Amino acid sequence: MTERIYLDHAATTPVRPEVRLAMEPYLSCDAFGNPSSLHADGQRAKHALDDARDTVAQALGAQAAEITFTSGGTEADNAALLGIMWAHQGRGDHLITTQVEHEAVLNSARFLETLGFRVTYLPVDEQGRVSPGDVSQAITDRTVLISVMHANNEVGTIQPLREIADIAHARGVLLHTDAVQSFGQMPVSLEGLCADLLTISAHKIYGPKGVGALYVRAGVPIEPLLHGGAQERQRRAGTENVPGIVGLAAAVRLLLPERDALTARLARLRDLLLSSLRACIPGVVLNGHPTECLPNNVNVSFPGGDAESLLLALDLAGISASSGSACTSGSIEPSHVLTAMRLPGWRVKSALRLTLGRGTTEDELCRTVDVLANIVARRH
């Protein structure tokens, strides 16, 4: 039997063995201490936490005190939206976001609406990009925060974040960006993006699940989501997930020196995959932006295809792919991202997302195209 082919790296990535090794002492009787304890066991954990915070801060071009560890991207997004809107009620009650955000942002925004806040959900163009002009027009004197993701998890489209940051700051509005997808695959620096808040997640960069971080620019008031002990400078109560945080930092440390080379290799593989799909399957179309996109994302539609049955057939052939975001597949809801891009029904219905990763090989992609071409040919 041949090995399975994993092309769903936007859903999650395998934990690198080096990451697991780095975490191990903190899962054993070696270094199990509580970082809040003053004795030597506690202090060992505290040191690990401090080191991890330095690593994540340096990777983003931030200061250590600006990093709060969370239980993942979802919590960081919730903390950013709720925490900022709650803390700035004296200034206003208006949030601007987009129709193509991850559910963690969209559903936080919807929750804020039930609390009486007002939210504008900006449209995108056919390639999934927000117009900076629309952002500018949506700002009112009640606008507190703009939340626009760096790169989309379904189609890989990269947003014009720097332009949006300049518009936001010229009007005294804060900017949050969900950089969960981009962080592992392209340079993500606060100097470049100029965001006031930024979300990352460990399991999208070959780290463990259940841990992430939120950057909050120094001096920006934010209300915590969790109340309890004084951990994380009173921003996030609860004994820290030390093994997870150590794992996140280890993943970041491994990622940085290889990210540029990885980006280039993935982009080459992506082009290869796309050109062989086009050569082997008549009528296949790319969803998303052709150039302003993540190097590992290929979201394509097949005339006459149906994502559910394509995925099942691929799975049977040993290939893991996705029809969109992992959170909505399994249900028959059409993708909110493709719908917002106003693609014709057949493209929404037949969209398949193949996301490559560190371990992806040319051979795997050739086999995938063969299998897909066979599946599509069979149903005509």
Ligand X SMILES: *Cc1c(COP(=O)(O)O)cnc(C)c1O
Pick the closer one to ligand X by CB: 198 or 365: 198
Q: Which stretch binds ligand X (CB under 6 A): 41-49, 70-78, 222-230, 258-266?
A: 70-78
Alpha-carbon distance of 89 to 171, in angstroms, equals: 17
* Measured CA distances, 190 to 104, 115, 326 (Å): 21, 31, 28
Q: Quick one: 69 or 302, whose CB is closer to ligand X?
A: 69
Q: Can you say whether the dihedral through the CA atoms of 100, 340, 161, 158 is positive or negative?
A: positive
- Between 298 and 369, whose beta carbon lies closer to ligand X? 298
Active site residue 327: yes
Catalytic site residue from 194, 280, 327, 366: 327
Q: Which residue is nearest to ligand X (CB)?
A: 73
Residue with smaller CB distance to ligand X, 305 or 324: 324
- Number of amino acids touching ligand X (CB under 6 A): 15
Around 196, how many Cα atoms within 13 Å sit in the side-chain half-sphere?
23
CA torsion, points 337, 314, 305, 122, in degrees to nearest 10?
Answer: 0
**Among residues 33, 73, 83, 357, the one that binds ligand X under rule CB under 6 A:** 73
Residues 276-335 that bind ligand X (CB under 6 A): none
Q: Is 212 in the site for ligand X (CB under 6 A)?
A: yes
The reply on whether position 195 binds ligand X by CB under 6 A is no
Distance CA 155, CA 181 (A): 11
Q: Does 201 bind ligand X (CB under 6 A)?
A: yes
List, edge to edge, every strand of the sheet that includes 352-355: 285-287, 297-301, 352-355
Q: For the window 151-170, what string marks contact with ligand X as x by the rule CB under 6 A?
A: --x-----------------
- List the structure tokens of 200: 């990352």
What one-character-per-residue DSSP string does 279-310 give? HHSTT-EEES-SSSB-TTEEEEE-TT--HHHH
Closest CB to ligand X among 56 and 104?
104
| Residues that are catalytic | 327
Binding site for ligand X (CB under 6 A): 72-74, 77, 102, 104, 149, 153, 178, 180-181, 201, 203-204, 212
